[in-house]
Amino acid sequence: MQQLTMGAAREAQTESMPAHTVRQWLREPLLHFALIGSLLFALDHFLVSRTDDPHVIVMDQAVEDEARRVFAAARGREPDADELRALRQVWLDNEILYREGLVLQVDRGDTAIRERVIFKALSLIDAGVKLPAIDDQTLRAWFEKRRDKYDEPARFDFEEAALAGTPTESDIRQFVADLDHGVPGDSRAGLRVFKGRPQSNILQSYGEEFATALAGLPVGQWHSLQSKTSWHAVRLIGYAATQPADYDLVRGPVLQDWKDAVASEQRTAAVRALASKYQIVSASRE
Amino acid sequence: MKSSMISRNSVATAVAAAIGVGCAVVAPAVAVAAGKTPGKYVSGDFHNHTTCSDGSISMQKLVDKSIGTGAPFGLDWFVQAGHGGNGNRNCTLVEDASLATPAYPFIAGKGPTTTWQSSPTPVTPKGDVSGSTPNRNMWRWQSIQEFQYPVIEYLNALKSTPLFIGLESVVAGHEHTSMSVITGQIPLALDSALLPSAPPYAALGNATALAQWEYCFDRGDTDTSRGAANAWNCAVPGSANQADASWSGTAQKLIPAGGAGTGIRGHSKTVEALKWMAAFHPNGSYYVPAHLERAGPFNPDGNNGFNVEHLRNFNNAAPDVAFGFESQPGHGASDARGEYTVRRNNIAGVQTDSVGGTTYGGTGVYASQLGGVWDALLGEGRNWWFFASSDWHNRGSFGPDDTRTSQDFYPGEYQRTYTMVRNGADKLRPQSIVDGLRTGNAFASSGQLIDRLGFIACVSYPGLAARSNAAVEALAVAAATNNTDIDTAGCATMGEKLRVRPGAEIVISIVLRDPSGANIAPYTFDNPSLLQINLHRPVNEPLLDHVDLIRGLVSGYRTPGAADYSGEWPRNTNWLRADGTTPADLSGVPAAAKNASAAVIKTFSGASPWTPVISSVDGTSFLKMTYRVPAVSASQYLRLRGTNLPPAVPFETDASGNPLADIYTNAVDRAMLRIPCTIAGTNVPPASPTYTARNINGCPLHLSTANGSSPIAGQRAVSFDVAAWSDLWFYSNPIYVEVQGGQVVAGVK
């Protein structure tokens, strides 16, 4: 309800403002912060006000619908009137137990309940996240700041003929000589085939020295290469150079990433806003 | 079966273990090939929880989920095993009418979280008073003996499913162990029993032996009542008992004092527990340390983890009872896989990591590290087997019927241990299942990566005794396609040993089934871990990438007290560094905890060819592969591992295909998250209501967002159940090869 009011106010406001000014406002993080903060305080008030009268239990249509659904799932048919009455009574009994349990604070110290409540609260925050409108120019600028993430990386196709255990440099050099004389690549501990591996993968898994050497290998010949941990008998099969990303082709993923990033910022801001309600005391750690 | 000493010399020279526990080295009674009773590989789970301890659902719901008709997880056998100690909730009460049975009907307003004293028929717990009315705790011995066992026996008969009751013991001197004593449970008379049409159910058998063990040896059971009317005495034949300083005359059991030396005294008590099992229930019990890296290294002044010497002490004391470990823990979907984390345990005032700091592809460092603790034990020729269990408690952020989870998987949902159970024409029974576990003829698989395995080694000599690859492959194909093993002279399978002459050639055939189609993961989007290397493969359609054949040499049992008998795995950043890397070699690992000879000797994959073969039994597709080890001169073992992840997958596997630390997918430290999960999808469900379909086509909302210094900060990252479903492994138990005149493989007959 509060959310609708805020939305209506925003619509009313935008009608009287120039379009570019509106867009600037909608991109303004402080506005998002204020909107979410308002929503959360409203939500908080709503929840608190509900708990003001914990002795009122409302059995509405949702209860009956859920009872019907559970019964149908278990029995494969709709409950009759008596069964429905019994189910409503079960729900009521459980709700009373639930309320009593909360009064007794049996949820305290139960990590499963804590996690579930956290997840639900976060979901409420997520539901309140309102992404600002974004035009193509702004999105393109956002993309340009991160374009290396979207570039098609250099990719390598290569094979490794493996030896058992941790072979020495001389073991590998001898093996490479054997491979050059026609010994099959899978003749010893097996052949590993790597296709389309991005350069970042080579760097992360084998190290810079290996990646540089691999990029310089002639195609189709076995070589001994040293990675950050061991020696390898390697043959480059193919190489594709880096291709700069074409914004028009990657616009969809870019837009999704932008949405995720902004939503994440707003989610964090919202939680931090709630933190202002609490006095945070840091206990010293041993 | 008869036990014998491995060698007179080894016993004569045995001295007290480093921490004061003297253990004779006794060979276990393990069957070998020839004249085997027919059996099948059957999947099960022996570590899971209900509300009677700290689980979230009733016994009936857990059984129904795990093994019930129509349950998606389809286990073949099931052991319900909550914590030792006590609890105030009555897990025999069901949640709703769908779980009601004639003997245990649904009672409105009562459920599995109702306390014993508030139950429809109020129960006053026996023994020493713990807690206060109306929430008094019941000692586990009583709940097992009087309430939980009868439910299990009743459901066993009602559903015609092999169920029995076990325990996750809270271990004196250590953390936890999955165990059971099956004596008395599920008697043959149950086969023809008429079940009542209304409460109560009077059990035909009993779990009194297990209840007594729990009273006598579980650290959490501090009751001193001797089990009330049971009047138990916990003396162990041949032990000090009353002469032990820890003996309580009132309780008639060992009650070690706290404070300095707690771990040492506790471990001694636990070795007594194993001796008790070996003395009274030699074939009717098992003892398998659970998530044994989680609580950190052994703490002489507290109750933390297990070092390699403790596993040796257990196996020495009761080789037919303590025959393996759960180095692949449950809790696979939690924010810290397996609940293994850095700085988890306070030991002597210092925050200390779980051993290894985290899991590696879901498996603890003791078994996942090539050449590590498991290889050290196998390198002795011990019967020490690998198992995996669910450790089911709850679904984390979700309700129990949701297909998503941020904490635990149900038994059989993710991990399955397949065990050869030789029941012939008989039904599955607790004894045949425990006998199967003891043999080590078993393998464990996560995410339904494989569901059949024939792993066979045959000896070949030049001339008439030569064996072709095709001949051995045919045996393995027959075994795997019929879901059984082999019974052929000159051949052995998992948990067995092959005796050969020096210079023999070993022909190893592996036939396995990577089930086609989808597994039971709820996610249909592309596996984000594989997307890093440009591979598009749905999370719920994993494909076996490769199989590693691992070999290690056997050098004989270590002598208790010797320098290479005891040794702690490098702790904290001496193993798992702040950046998530680990040492390049095992030079920092003490001799006791490693086997430097262990290595991958062959990797099979589509490129290092395996060959498809269609089953003549059911038309499904299997893969077969064969390798020959030439001219063996030393006793050794062969084991397998396999995965859906190729080598060199960033933050998952290294360049040699070894699993990397799971710290990169553990949401407990979001700054360490590294693998983005950004597929938006079109049907990603909200947090609630409960979601029961298995078709989620985008990254679910409960995944954590990386933060801090993570290079993907701000992006949703692979974590929780998506991390587990993306990273699948299987592990086989070993086949031993004993070379005549060489090192005896003493742990297997």
CA atoms within 13 A of residue B240's CA, in its CB half-sphere: 12
pLDDT mean across residues, chain A = 80
Q: How confident is the model over B475-482, as a mean pLDDT? A: 98
Tokens of B419: 């065990």
CA distance B715 to chain A (A): 7
Of A164, A200, A261, the CB nearest to B601: A164
Confidence of residue A283 (pLDDT cuts 50, 70, 90): low
Q: How confident is the model over B336-347, as a mean pLDDT? A: 96
When mean pLDDT is compared across A263-277, B305-319, B463-477, B510-524, the lowest value belongs to A263-277
Q: Is the pLDDT of residue B349 over 90?
A: yes
How would you classify the pairing of strands B415-421 and B385-388? unpaired
Which residues of A are less than 8 Å from B351 in CB distance? Answer: 286
Chain B 629-648, residues with CB within 8 Å of chain A CB atoms: 646-648
Q: Which one, of B75, B42, B40, B157, lies nearest residue B424 by Cα?
A: B40
Q: How confident is the model over A154-161, as a mean pLDDT? A: 96
CA distance B56 to chain A (A): 9
Cβ distance B30 to B383 under 8 Å? yes
Instruction: Return the pLDDT at A260.
Output: 82
SS3 B38: coil
Of B406, B606, B716, the CB nearest to A115: B406
Confidence of residue B151 (pLDDT cuts 50, 70, 90): very high
Confidence of residue B18 (pLDDT cuts 50, 70, 90): very low
Confidence of residue A197 (pLDDT cuts 50, 70, 90): very high
pLDDT mean across residues, chain B = 94
CA distance B111 to chain A (A): 9
CA distance B620 to chain A (A): 26
Does the beta-carbon distance from B650 to A204 stay under 8 Å? yes
% residues pLDDT > 90 (chain B): 91
What are B717-727's pLDDT values in tens digits? 999 999 999 99
The torsion region of residue B639 among left (phi > 0), alpha (psi -120 to 50) and beta comes to: beta
CA distance A161 to chain B (A): 10
Q: Is B603 on the interface with A (CB under 8 A)?
A: yes
Instruction: Return the pLDDT at B111.
Output: 94
Does the beta-carbon distance from B98 to A74 stay under 8 Å? yes
Q: Which one, of A211, A217, A209, lies nearest residue A238 by Cα?
A: A217
Long-range contacts of B607-611 (CB under 8 A, 24+ apart): B607/A159, B607/A186, B607/A190, B607/A191, B607/A192, B607/A193, B608/A186, B608/A190, B608/A191, B608/A192, B608/B546, B609/A186, B610/B547
Q: Is the pLDDT of residue A92 over 90?
A: no
Instruction: Return the pLDDT at B354.
Output: 98
Q: How confident is the model over B228-235, as a mean pLDDT? A: 98
Q: How confident is the model over B214-232, as a mean pLDDT? A: 98
Q: How far is CA B375 from the centre of its chain?
A: 17
Of B349, B656, B715, the CB nearest to A286: B349
Instruction: Return the pLDDT at B69.
Output: 64
Only one residue has tokens 């086997």, namely B595
Q: Is the pLDDT of residue B279 over 70?
A: yes
Backbone angles phi, psi at B125, to 5 degrees: -60, 145
Instruction: Return the pLDDT at A223.
Output: 98
Q: Is the pLDDT of residue B10 over 70?
A: no
Q: Is the pLDDT of residue B29 over 90?
A: no
Closest CA in chain A for residue B674: A204
% residues pLDDT > 70 (chain B): 95
Taking the model in full, what pTM does it have?
A: 0.86
Confidence of residue B622 (pLDDT cuts 50, 70, 90): very high
The span from the CA of B275 to the CA of B217, in Å, is: 11
Q: Is the pLDDT of residue B189 over 90?
A: yes
Q: How confident is the model over B465-474, as a mean pLDDT? A: 96
Q: Is the pLDDT of residue A21 over 70?
A: no
Does the beta-carbon distance from B534 to A198 stay under 8 Å? yes
Instruction: Return the pLDDT at B607.
Output: 83
What amino acid occupies position A136?
D
Q: How confident is the model over B385-392, as a mean pLDDT? A: 97
Which residues of B are less than 8 Å from A186 in CB distance? Answer: 607-609
Of B534, B678, B687, the CB nearest to A257: B678
Instruction: Return the pLDDT at A256.
Output: 85
Q: What is the dihedral of CA A171, A174, A175, A180, to 10 degrees?
A: 160
- DSSP-assigned beta bridge partners for residue B636: B553, B737
Does the beta-carbon distance from B714 to A112 stay under 8 Å? no
Give the ipTM.
Answer: 0.87
When mean pLDDT is compared across A144-148, B140-144, B154-158, B429-433, the lowest value belongs to A144-148
